């Protein structure tokens, strides 16, 4: 990497992001399209995509805890200042690796992804596969209803989150973040203009 | 518009089935409304700053 470029995302993290994106699109299309009247054989693609999502989220969590800085994604009391500045439409303090909006998006995705995964794993009991036999009586009808409510609500929330995520990724002033998620780097000028180098000056 | 889906079993009892998928259009619409509002706000804000 040339000296005027700062590494923002390693290849493994970019691969995780794009595989997760592919899984999310596969899950939303196969999960929601049949409910909206577009019927096709969706169950196998849906649960296999969900399985892949579980695997990569587990890998990402282990990597984030043991190899990356969990602190860079944390929401601390000092961030209240940044939030107040955003609400006043003025420039707040420059962030470390991730801006306040990026961290809030990550936390929202974490909460709804874990909810969808936990309920999705339980829902596997309703289908047959080479690895297990279906048992629709695992839970009572009322409990199954709650499981489906949480799973469906998480899926619908992801529709909103994905629209917002794509919008902000494509905004002209944020395009360098999209480039960094493809090629891994930002420039020193972009670092100086958008981040506090004392808090983050590139991944090591 | 309903928020939840219910079914009735053989004994006439109502059972919760999940969220109503009519809400898909609400979640999509709210996100798109935010996008339009944010784009308008930032454009007008940038013009206001440029004039000052």
- Determine, for residues B32 and A152 on separate chains, whether the beta-carbon distance falls below 8 Å: no
Model ipTM value: 0.90
* Burial class, A27, CB count within 10 angstroms (exposed 0-12 / middle 13-18 / buried 19+): buried
SS3 A178: helix
Q: Is residue A176 part of a domain?
A: yes
Q: Is residue A29 part of a domain?
A: yes
Sorted by sequence, the CB contacts under 8 Å of residue A42 that are 6+ apart come out as A30, A31, A33, A34
Q: Is residue A48 part of a domain?
A: yes
> Which residue out of B19, B34, B37, B46 would a mutagenesis test of the A interface target, given it has the greatest number of A Cβ atoms within 10 Å?
B19
What's the pTM value of the predicted model, to 2 decimals? Answer: 0.90
A-chain residues near B16 (CB < 8 A)? 141-142, 145-146, 148-149
SS3 A23: helix
Number of other CB atoms surrounding residue B19 within 10 Å: 22
Read off the CATH number of the domain in which A108 is found: 1.20.950.20
For A128-184, what is each residue's pLDDT tens digit? 888 889 999 999 999 999 999 999 999 999 999 999 999 999 999 999 999 999 999
| B4-8 vs B14-19, strand pairing mode | antiparallel
Question: The domain containing residue A145 runs over which residues?
Answer: 10-69+97-190
pLDDT band at A19 (very low <50, low <70, confident <90, very high): very high
Q: How many domains does chain A have?
A: 1
CA atoms within 13 A on the CB side of B30: 11
Tell me how many residue pairs between chain A and chain B have CB atoms under 8 A apart. 53
Q: What is the pLDDT of residue A89?
A: 64
* Burial class, A62, CB count within 10 angstroms (exposed 0-12 / middle 13-18 / buried 19+): exposed
Q: Is residue A65 part of a domain?
A: yes
B-chain residues near A143 (CB < 8 A)? none
Residue A88 DSSP code: T
For A63-120, what is each residue's pLDDT tens digit? 999 988 888 888 777 777 777 777 776 677 888 899 989 999 999 999 999 999 999 9
Q: Is residue A149 part of a domain?
A: yes
* pLDDT mean over A23-35: 95
């Amino acid at each position: 990497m040339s000296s005027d470029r700062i590494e923002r995302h390693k290849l493994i993290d970019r691969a995780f992001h794009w595989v997760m994106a592919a899984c999310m699109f596969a899950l939303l299309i196969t999960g929601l399209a049949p409910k909206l009247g577009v019927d096709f054989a969706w169950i196998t693609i849906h649960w296999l995509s969900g399985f892949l999502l579980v695997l990569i989220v587990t890998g990402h969590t282990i990597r984030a805890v043991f190899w990356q800085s969990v602190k860079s994604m944390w929401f601390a009391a000092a961030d209240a200042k940044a939030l107040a500045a955003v609400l006043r439409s003025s420039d707040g303090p420059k962030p470390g690796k991730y801006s306040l909006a990026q961290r809030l998006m990550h936390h929202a995705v974490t909460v709804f992804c874990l909810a969808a995964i936990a309920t999705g794993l339980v829902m596997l009991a309703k289908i047959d596969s080479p690895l297990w036999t279906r048992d629709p009586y695992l839970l009572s009808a009322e409990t199954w209803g709650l499981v489906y409510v949480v799973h469906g609500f998480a899926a619908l929330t992801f529709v909103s989150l994905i629209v917002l995520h794509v919008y902000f990724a494509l905004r002209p002033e944020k395009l360098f973040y999209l480039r960094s998620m493809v090629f891994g780097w930002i420039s020193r000028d972009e670092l100086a203009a958008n981040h506090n180098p004392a808090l983050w000056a590139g991944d090591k | 518009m309903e928020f939840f889906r219910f079914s009735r079993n053989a004994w006439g009892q109502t059972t919760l089935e999940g969220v109503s998928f009519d809400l898909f259009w609400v979640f999509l619409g709210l996100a798109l409304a935010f996008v339009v509002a944010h784009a308008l706000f930032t454009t007008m804000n940038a013009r206001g700053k440029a004039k000052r």
